[in-house]
Amino acid sequence: MRNPDHNANNSNKKKLRKGLWSPEEDEKLMNYMLMNGQGCWSDVARNAGLQRCGKSCRLRWINYLRPDLKRGAFSSQEEDLIIQLHSILGNRWSQIAARLPGRTDNEIKNFWNSTIKKRLRNSSPSSASSFSPNNSDSSEPREAMGGFTSISDHDIMTMCMDSSSSSTPVQAVSSLCNRFDQQFDPLPRLENVYDMTDFATGYNHMPPYLTQVGFDVGFNGNHGIYGTVQMGEEDEIYVPPLLESGSLEEHTVTNNISGTHTNDNNKHKNNNNTNTTNTTNNNNIEEDNIFGNENYWDTENLRMVEWHLEDLMGNISSSFS
């Protein structure tokens, strides 16, 4: 390790120290933080009598001195969760750390770079890729690299409409869950069994992790199976089904994201402060024509995906024991 004094300040100069923290510095910072709490870090450094920049104090506190840090080796459960979260979030260490209580982004980053990455590299290519699809060094999550990563309303609508074309409600629900499950593959799950004898019992046997992330299905006598995804208390994606004839009802997204999402063939109507849904027939539209357009996701939509991902991940991490 670095010599704690190797950048020590000259007595005449107000040069800030760098390098390792000495136990005395730790004690000063710890005492100050416990007495005064977090404030302006420049003030912390000055008032605690430390010859350190505020940035250094912040880092030391967050990564080492904070009382709620867990420290110690990562459990296998934490390790699994890190791998799965990384497959979705990429190198967004702070977001991963936010879902692992007592762990810091720096700690997770180091753990990833020193242990997990190597382990994945040493494992067979096939298993490595299935274990962590994003085990490249890229800092981009998969959806940003053009791959199919997170659950977006686009994904949900697609799978809902696919499933709604099934011949029976049971199959429709089963298909809906399976499609959702496929997209959710990298995420923590509790079970993966769909034993549905009819819609009612099928509903009761929906995989818990689906309901935990706010995914739900409904049955409407007139319109068949549809899907919804709850996003917070007021926001919901509602996906009317594909009609029996193969035509498509216009689907409506109700949430609090500003902006309107449209393309030539498809309209997402954004109704702020309402939960109403508009359903108008829009016949002769093939699904591929609707979602096959790679330019479908404009900038606004990408922000939307990001926002949904945050909500989903929040739900997942809170349910992951």
Partner DNA sequence: AATGCATACAACCGCACGATC
Partner DNA sequence: TGATCGTGCGGTTGTATGCAT
> According to the binding rule CB under 7 A, does residue 39 interact with DNA?
yes
Say which amino acid occupies 131.
Answer: F
Name the 3-class secondary structure at 15: coil
> According to the binding rule CB under 7 A, does residue 54 interact with DNA?
yes
The closest alpha carbon to 229, from 252, 248, 246, belongs to 252
Name the 3-class secondary structure at 54: helix
Nearer to DNA, 56 or 270 (CB): 56
> According to the binding rule CB under 7 A, does residue 19 interact with DNA?
yes
Query: Per residue, what are the HEC states of 89-117?
Result: HCCCHHHHHCCCCCCCHHHHHHHHHHHHH
Task: Find the binding residues for DNA in span 118-177 (CB under 7 A).
Answer: 118, 139
The closest alpha carbon to 196, from 222, 212, 178, belongs to 178
Rounded CA separation 252/267 (Å): 8
Q: How far is the CB of 19 from DNA (least distance, A)?
A: 5
Nearer to DNA, 106 or 282 (CB): 106
Annotate 225-240 with DSSP letters as a single string. Answer: EEEEEEETTTEEEEEP
Out of 9, 115, 178, 211, point to the residue binding DNA (CB under 7 A).
115
Out of 8, 20, 30, 144, point to the residue binding DNA (CB under 7 A).
20
> According to the binding rule CB under 7 A, does residue 307 interact with DNA?
no
> According to the binding rule CB under 7 A, does residue 35 interact with DNA?
no
> According to the binding rule CB under 7 A, does residue 113 interact with DNA?
yes
Nearer to DNA, 30 or 59 (CB): 59
Q: In which element (H, E) is residue 115 found?
A: none
Nearer to DNA, 25 or 249 (CB): 25
Rounded CA separation 27/318 (Å): 34
Nearer to DNA, 63 or 279 (CB): 63
Rounded CA separation 127/125 (Å): 6
Q: Which residues bind to DNA, rule: CB under 7 A?
A: 1-3, 6, 17-21, 39-42, 54-56, 58-60, 63-64, 73, 91-95, 105-107, 109-111, 113-115, 118, 139
